[in-house]
Amino acid sequence: MELGGSDPFVVMPSADLEQAVSIAVSARMINNGQSCIAAKRFIIHEKIYDEFLKRFVAGVSAIRVGDPMDEKTQLGPLATAAIRDGLDNQVKSSVAAGARVATGGKKLEGEGYFYVPTVLTDIPADAPAAQEELFGPVASVFKAKDLTDAIRIANGTSFGLGASAWTRDAAEQDRFIADIESGLLFINGMVASDPRLPFGGVKNSGFGRELGEFGIHQERTRRRRPGGETIRD
């Protein structure tokens, strides 16, 4: 059972910054931000934080919002009014708690459930943008002091579905693989679902696995004899 996520996207100084920013925009806005494995919390090392944020905000601000039937459109509406209004309330509550809007931060009036592509910074640890799943085009950006701090922030929610880490340092890659609490972890790549690999989360992101060899074994049906003994088919 998959129950959502608040996937971290960690960027370290050794990363290819241009590539990381480009993928970060796509990873947050995929399916108009309505994806369980979309990157949602962007955790950036303090040495590159300012430059990443400048480029990331520029990329998010440049997204073309409009009719999904128009080939030039890059971001369409959200699925329902409830999703859009709930997202707006999460943003407003986060701002009230102290978060800053770097771009966006509002609904678009008119036909369709549109929300302006948004970037939030300076987010308190207990704000909705830090703790909850934001199911729409809103990115939460955090500054990390070092590798250990980045992992602490990444693990600082009740979710654990997917995660991605951007670094060309082999030792840092090993730390992320060992210490980030997630069912899926991608190094220098966007989190994706692949039928060859088991898919599922940890913590409040659900339980069990689908896809891949492990998913096939887990999906075997279970029956019980009248006496209570379990039979595996």
Report the b/e string of 220-232 with b at 16+ CB within 10 A: eeeeeeeeeeeee
Distance CA 25, CA 187 (A): 17
Return the amino acid letter for 215.
Answer: G
| Active-site residue, 111 included | no
Return all residues near 161 (Cβ < 8 A) that are at least 6 apart: 2, 4, 5, 6, 7, 36, 37, 182, 183, 184, 201, 205, 206
Hey, is 59 helix, strand or coil? helix
Q: Does residue 36 carry a catalytic annotation?
A: yes
Nearest to 117 by CA among 49, 73, 64, 155: 64
The catalytically annotated residue of 18, 36, 111, 132 is 36
Non-local (6+) Cβ contacts of 133 within 8 A are: 4, 5, 6, 40, 159
**7 and 189 Cβ atoms separated by less than 8 Å:** no
Nearest residue to 186 via CA among 5, 6, 2, 10: 10
Which residues are catalytic, by number?
Answer: 2, 36
